[in-house]
Amino acid sequence: MPQAENPNGRPSRRGFLLLGGAGAAALGAYALGGRSGSLARTPEIAGGLVVARRTSRALGSDISMLALHPSGAVGEKALDDAFAELARVERVMSIYLPDSELSRLNRDGALTRPDPYLIRVFKEAQLMADRSSGAFDVTVQPLWNLYAAANKSGALPGDGEIDAARAKVDWRGLTVTDTELRLRDPGMSVTLNGIAQGFAADRAMEAFRRNGIEHALINTGEISSLGQKAGGEPWVVGIQHPRTADAYLGLAKLAGHCMSTSGDYETTFSPDKAYNHIFEPWTGRSPKELASVTVIAPNATQADALSTAIFVLGAEKGANLARSLPGVDLLMVLKDGRQLASDGFPWNA
């Protein structure tokens, strides 16, 4: 998992390494709802700005946030507000919490008067589903459940089992209104694991901006950047190589943009990675062409959803989708090792 500003840190689940930060001091340990067990220390100063840092774990990923401001108190207040936003997102959208609104929707098939954040993220998900011709589909949870159960016994599901699970997958069977969420058929279920982390990063960055923060870096499993490092240089992120542990494809410079990577190496159901956590909704199996997709976009919600959608679509259709969206750049690694990047992708291989 990532360690902010530590070039020797291990990559996150999404495959990022944050490089060249405001300073080299270790991040303090914090619980999601507030500080826990941190030790008082001399404030870190870089370029005349106080460095405020915090780490935690939420939404199945390690979390780190860094804010730069002339006032340390302002930076800490911004972190408090950002982590409060993160706590709300997890409370509403986590598939791991049995009492989250998402879990209640899956259990009951309908949810009235949901949290406005849940409505917002489902509307974004359905928009991406439409744009990607169904490649991005939050109703793939029955496939995940099937493969995860089979994996516990060291097997893969059979063709009939896959077809039965796939019959419960259809983004058009999810109804989203301002007051209700509803699943059309019994046995349908949803996951927001392909978009919630990006949404959380966007909400945290909004909290930073409300507090007057102009330079910040957020890692919720997706990366969101604001401004620049204290020395005036852009934030730099190393992108995980999909086939070599602790190796990187190159470095990307972020100038107020967001980044997300989806890869077949993140969660696998077979040693050759041919079966993994990303599914084609129309086949119930994992896509065969790409090993990883990295997207840079104006916001983290879009980057998160796009990285999955493009992975499912494949190189040609995925590139076409990226070209149709303003401010989006793309790096794809095929399973044969070839790398394809858009002209504007800001990296050094």
Q: What is the mean pLDDT of the chain?
A: 89
Residue 324: Cβ-neighbour burial (10 angstroms; 0-12, 13-18, 19+): exposed
pLDDT band at 94 (very low <50, low <70, confident <90, very high): very high
Which of 47, 40, 1, 46 lies closest to 24 in space, CA to CA?
Answer: 46
pLDDT given for residue 47 in this prediction:
76
Q: Is the pLDDT of residue 279 over 50?
A: yes
Domain presence at residue 225: yes
- Nearest CA-CA partner of 146 in 136, 137, 159, 134: 159
**How many Å apart are CA 261 and CA 195, to the nearest integer?**
12
In a domain, 253, yes or no: yes
pLDDT in tens, 163-212: 999 999 999 999 999 999 999 999 999 999 999 999 999 999 999 999 99
Confidence of residue 60 (pLDDT cuts 50, 70, 90): confident
What is the model's pLDDT at position 73? 97
The reported pLDDT for the residue numbered 9 is 30
Q: Is pLDDT of 147 > 90?
A: yes
Confidence of residue 220 (pLDDT cuts 50, 70, 90): very high
Q: Residue 223 falls within a domain, yes or no? A: yes
Domain for residue 325, yes or no?
Answer: no
Residue 99 lies in a domain: no
Over range 117-140, report the average pLDDT. Answer: 98
Q: What is the pLDDT of residues 167-181, one digit of tens each?
A: 999 999 999 999 999
Q: Lowest-pLDDT range, 25-39, 64-78, 116-130, 257-271?
A: 25-39
Residue for token pair 């509307």: 123
Q: Provide, rounded to the nearest whole percent, the portion of the chain with pLDDT above 90.
A: 82
Q: What mean pLDDT comes out for the span 253-276? A: 95
Domain count within the chain: 1
Q: Output the pLDDT for position 175.
A: 98
Neighbouring C-beta atoms of residue 116, cutoff 10 Å = 10
Q: Is the pLDDT of residue 301 over 90?
A: yes
Q: Which of 22-31, 306-315, 339-348 has the lowest mean pLDDT?
A: 22-31
**Is 239 within a domain?**
yes
Q: Mean of the pLDDT values across residues 309-314?
A: 98
Question: pLDDT value at position 44?
Answer: 82
pLDDT on residue 230 = 85
pLDDT at 23: 34
In a domain, 32, yes or no: yes
Is residue 154, in this structure, part of any structural domain at all?
A: no
Name the amino acid, one letter, at 294.
T
40 or 67, higher pLDDT = 67
Domain span at residue 253 reads: 16-94+197-258
